[in-house]
Structure 1
Amino acid sequence: MSLATLGMSVAVLTPIQVLLPLQIEAIDPASKVVNLGWITTVAAIVSIVVCPIAGALSDRTRSRFGRRRPWVLGSGLVCAGAMAGLGAQHTILGVALLWAAVQAGTNAMYAALTASVPDQVPVRQRGLVSAFVGLPVPLALVVGSFLVTAVVTGQFGAYLLLAVLLLVLIVPFLLNPLDRPPAAPPAPAPFRLRGNSDLGWAFGCRFAIQLANAVGTLYLLYYLRDVVKHPDPPQAVFVLIVLYTAGVLLTSVIAGRWSDRTGRRKVFVVGSSVIVGAAMVVLGFGQSWPSAMLAAALMGVGYGVYLAVDNALITEVLPSEASRARDLGIVNIANTAPQAVAPAVAGAVITALGGYTGLYLLAGVVALIGAALIRPVRAVR
């Protein structure tokens, strides 16, 4: 599961941080911000639609190959094919269409992979396991950024390498014999945020944290180039990702295990949200290379705790065992919808307030709102 998550994350996160901004800038330098914004918005909308549908179909799959593995394999092939095509694109429309296909593939894979945690892991171990499943996300940023900046620097070769890496890393999951559908599954319960207040509050918290993260990182490469005036923005992004990943590695597993032992989830989510908000404030007021490095380290510390514990918390407030992939696919809207909202929010804030300070302060406030939203959850301490 960790390896498959690493492959999925490399495929979807590396282009957002490095390849897509550079590719779009090369095609149309004058409109790079606008084009990056609407392309990521369209892809996010595709993700919102695809993830719950693929998850519901995965829940209903009763093949000899399992119910999660067929979707991991199929979505992996779709994603890898789209990545290979993306590397050969030299038009904005072509980039938009193929990036939407990549997002469709990775989100179908996400629904199947995340459902495997509650499928196979008891509640008392989900914090620790969620940490190990979440660790590949920041690690993917380091691996992917290193590969496309130091190993393969050409556009087509970089995308193709990521596609091949994705296919290789999902193979161990495809060989996992534990993926078996229940012999007599119960009927799936309707998904209702309104009728499940705990899930609604958890959904709102995740949406806020992911919105803060999306607003804060979408234009990071441009921020480093235009505000910090770093001489090598792609390399600077890689350094920040390394610092961020170091923070995640230091905190994620420890927080997940500590949360399992104490039986508490909310205090970890609140604390991590506050740290993420602090990182955004540092970015907003610092506007220098040292402050950017400090913010990256803080973000890693906070997000490492959040990744481990929030994922475990969500699995404990799902309404039905028979519809886990569907429900997690719907909850994933809290991950993907901010990607659609962030470009509009970020563009408006940058235009209205005349710079990045207001943007990052807004992201910090949104993170604090996320901390407040998790407190009313009752079923989980």
Structure 2
Amino acid sequence: MTQQVGAPTSADRQSMRFMLLYALASAGGAMAYIPFLTILLPVRVEAMAGGAHISWLAYCAFVGAVAASLAHILFGWLSDRTQNRGGWIAAGLVLSCSMLFAMTTASDLSTLLAVLVAWQISLNMMLAPLAAMAGDFVPDRQKGLLGGLLAFSPAIGAASGALVTIPGLADADSRLAIVAVLVAICVLPVLLFARPRAFPELMEPVQQQRGARDPLPRRLVVRMWFGRLLVQIAEAALFAYLYIWLRSISGTIQDDDAAQVFTVTLFVAVPATLIVGRWADRNNRPILPLVICAAVTAAALGVMATATALPLAMIGYGLFGFASSIFLALHSAQTLRVLPRPQHRGRDLGFFNLTNTVPSLVMPGLTLAMVPVFGFSGLFVLLAVLVVLAALLLATVPRPQ
């Protein structure tokens, strides 16, 4: 971590133009997968598989997560080796949008699965170097602001899903084309117009700054990795089973009610993340907001575990979504602060991306083991314990000097 001396000047900061265009590109990345994986793919699989759609969706999720995990590491590493983030982003953008169009030609489930894997690979060809680009150009003193801007990504991704599914706007094939166009509109400006300032210190290995034998960067990375993994397991469980849990409390709730709570929570979290991120920058306290947000997330899970009426359940989930959204956005930015080898930044972020994909593989087994025996209350208590552990891991991270 770099040491701050005196008040930073504009020359010590990345331009706001780059910051905003990068946030737009990150939102474009979210647009590329949130509406497709949550709405468009399930609808297409259900139309093809009929009564077997649940098992086929699970198969698609598993194979897609594996492909995405490996591709993110591979293309992060390749963008490190070639030192050409923009070229890989552009290639991934073209190929991933092409794969969305190819989805419309898949006439059977096997072909759809093959195209899905190709799409995941090409999408992560874009996402991996895009994530590393922030580490190349955003100094530590602006990591909190970066986290706040990144909070727009899931909110805009969710909004794009609502947009493309407006009744009468487009048929199933046209929705994929709309998503591809929206992604291109968001990602291209950072490649064409951003012109970021260079900060040579961001490319200096932390070991050279602190001494090669200093184990602190490694300990930081491990704690940050496990902290995010534990919170993401809870996030994945709620993402998959929110509607079913709410229906178990009140049979009157509809799917659009759950979707509205999810979307409103994401948008409310955006300004809060910006405020918290700027506070972390000004006070040089990058980890403290993560600890607090993890603690609040655990408390929210406790509320959900005890909820027997719909209003309390909604309050608990709203608090959970609010705190966990702030945590994940700020964590993504602060991770760039602790990675020890900038020359391997893209590859290492690929390993951090496993905290996003592994929970999708762990969560179904965890849920099946807990819910039939202990109900959703038991599951939420277990998830709260995991998130408390995440808070404790991060609470022991030393404050930067």
Fold conserved between structures, TM > 0.5: yes
Deviations 1:227-286 (A, max 9, x none): 6435641x2343123222233123110110011111112221111112223333444444
Report whether the alignment pairs 1:206 with 2:206.
no
Report whether the alignment pairs 1:217 with 2:239.
yes
Alpha-carbon shift at residue 31 of structure 1 (Å): 4.2
Say whether the 8 Å CA contact 1:127–1:309 is kept in structure 2.
yes
Say whether the 8 Å CA contact 2:151–2:326 is kept in structure 1.
no
Q: Which stretch shows the higher mean deviation, 132-141 or 255-264?
A: 132-141
Specify the alignment match of 1:76 in structure 2: 93
Say whether the 8 Å CA contact 1:43–1:99 is kept in structure 2.
yes
Specify the alignment match of 1:58 in structure 2: 79
Specify the alignment match of 1:372 in structure 2: 392
Specify the alignment match of 2:265 in structure 1: 244
Specify the alignment match of 1:100 in structure 2: 117
Say whether the 8 Å CA contact 2:268–2:322 is kept in structure 1.
yes
AA partner of residue 4 (structure 1): A
Say whether the 8 Å CA contact 1:247–1:298 is kept in structure 2.
no
Say whether the 8 Å CA contact 1:317–1:379 is kept in structure 2.
no
Find the aligned partners of 1:164 and 1:212 in 2 and give their Cα distance: 32
Say whether the 8 Å CA contact 2:144–2:333 is kept in structure 1.
yes
Alpha-carbon shift at residue 343 of structure 1 (Å): 2.6
Q: Pairwise mapping of residues 134-173 of structure 1 onto structure 2 (< 5 A)? A: 134-150=151-167, 152=169, 154-173=171-190
Deviations 1:99-156 (A, max 9, x none): 3333323333222122122211111111112221332222211232232244646322
SS at structure 2 position matched to 1:196: helix
RMSD: 3.1
Alpha-carbon shift at residue 38 of structure 1 (Å): 2.9
Q: Which stretch shows the higher mean deviation, 112-121 or 288-297?
A: 288-297
Say whether the 8 Å CA contact 2:305–2:381 is kept in structure 1.
yes
Specify the alignment match of 1:272 in structure 2: 293
TM-score (norm 2): 0.81
Report whether the alignment pairs 1:47 with 2:68.
yes
Find the aligned partners of 1:179 and 1:103 in 2 and give their Cα distance: 31
Say whether the 8 Å CA contact 1:248–1:305 is kept in structure 2.
yes
AA partner of residue 368 (structure 1): V
Deviations 1:16-70 (A, max 9, x none): 33233344344445444433333212211112211121011111225xxxx1111
Taking structure 1 as reference, are residues 125 and 281 closer, same or farther at Cα in structure 2, changes over 3 Å only? same
Say whether the 8 Å CA contact 2:39–2:161 is kept in structure 1.
no
SS at structure 1 position matched to 2:233: helix
AA partner of residue 362 (structure 1): L
Identity %: 25
Q: Pairwise mapping of residues 1-381 of structure 1 onto structure 2 (< 5 A)? A: 1-28=22-49, 30-62=51-83, 67-89=84-106, 91-150=108-167, 152=169, 154-175=171-192, 176-178=194-196, 196-223=218-245, 228-229=250-251, 232-233=254-255, 235-286=256-307, 289-291=310-312, 293-353=314-374, 355-378=375-398, 380=400
Find the aligned partners of 2:391 and 2:243 in 1 and give their Cα distance: 27
TM-score (norm 1): 0.85
Find the aligned partners of 1:31 and 1:147 in 2 and give their Cα distance: 26
Say whether the 8 Å CA contact 1:230–1:236 is kept in structure 2.
no
Find the aligned partners of 2:136 and 2:67 in 1 and give their Cα distance: 26
Taking structure 1 as reference, are residues 346 and 159 closer, same or farther at Cα in structure 2, changes over 3 Å only? farther
AA partner of residue 363 (structure 1): L
Say whether the 8 Å CA contact 1:117–1:126 is kept in structure 2.
no
Find the aligned partners of 2:50 and 2:26 in 1 and give their Cα distance: 33
Say whether the 8 Å CA contact 1:259–1:309 is kept in structure 2.
no
AA partner of residue 200 (structure 1): V
Say whether the 8 Å CA contact 1:138–1:241 is kept in structure 2.
no
Structure 2 unmatched runs, 5+: 1-21
Taking structure 1 as reference, are residues 365 and 173 closer, same or farther at Cα in structure 2, changes over 3 Å only? same
Specify the alignment match of 2:15 in structure 1: none
Equivalent residues, number: 371
Structure 1 unmatched runs, 5+: none
Find the aligned partners of 1:269 and 1:151 in 2 and give their Cα distance: 42
Find the aligned partners of 2:132 and 2:100 in 1 and give their Cα distance: 25
Find the aligned partners of 1:15 and 1:283 in 2 and give their Cα distance: 29
Taking structure 1 as reference, are residues 231 and 122 closer, same or farther at Cα in structure 2, changes over 3 Å only? closer
SS at structure 2 position matched to 1:218: helix
Taking structure 1 as reference, are residues 13 and 228 closer, same or farther at Cα in structure 2, changes over 3 Å only? farther
Find the aligned partners of 2:50 and 2:58 in 1 and give their Cα distance: 14
Find the aligned partners of 1:157 and 1:280 in 2 and give their Cα distance: 39
Alpha-carbon shift at residue 195 of structure 1 (Å): 8.0
Find the aligned partners of 1:308 and 1:58 in 2 and give their Cα distance: 23
Say whether the 8 Å CA contact 2:249–2:308 is kept in structure 1.
yes
Deviations 1:316-370 (A, max 9, x none): 21111222112112211112221222233233434454x5444444333322222
Taking structure 1 as reference, are residues 159 and 249 closer, same or farther at Cα in structure 2, changes over 3 Å only? same
Say whether the 8 Å CA contact 1:146–1:238 is kept in structure 2.
no
AA partner of residue 336 (structure 1): T
